Structure 1
Amino acid sequence: MVGMVRLPLTVGEIERGQRLGALLRLARGERSILAVALEADVSPETLRKIETGRVATPSFPTIAALAQVLGLSLDELWAQVAEPSDAVSTA
């Protein structure tokens, strides 16, 4: 049996991962990575990697758990992550 080959990330995926990480860091504020990770049932190392953009495409359940702990709407989170940072918000 052949193992799965993971395709390289696109530039867009990398940029979205960086925006996601920045938004999660901002939402976390003064709370520690450890406290947020434990509450979301995510490893602190995973949260650190997401926040630094090293995990550009985290799983949906991981994003959903972090959003819930941080009080973020998934719709709003996706809207901000999906748009390039230089886009003008109409909200």
Structure 2
Amino acid sequence: MRIATWNVNSIGPRLPRVLDWLGSAQPDVLCLQELKSGTDAFPYDAVREAGYETAAYGIGRWNGVAILSRVGLEDVTRGLTGEPTFEDKTDARAIGAT
């Protein structure tokens, strides 16, 4: 399994580069940081057309994370749930899935 991570520093202007790289590198899973995009504004359709299922977590124009997977995503958790020292944190900096 090939897993990669990328700090995209804003998915909007970087989407063409991300899609090109997905096509050439073909990772099974790509984790993105610093989307700077709300969850609803993530380009799900473009990523789906590239063959990836997506779980994203973003709030406004700050932070934001996503998991793109060719092998499926289940049990998605957004934030650091269950961690006592992070209970009051609402920024979109963590996402997990199986």
Regarding TM over 0.5, the answer is: no
Higher gyration radius (CA) = 1
Sort the TM-score into its range (normalised by shorter chain): under 0.3
TM-score, structure 2 normalization: 0.26
Structure with greater contact order relative to length (CA < 8 Å, sep ≥ 6): 1
From the two aligned structures, give the one with the greater helix fraction.
1
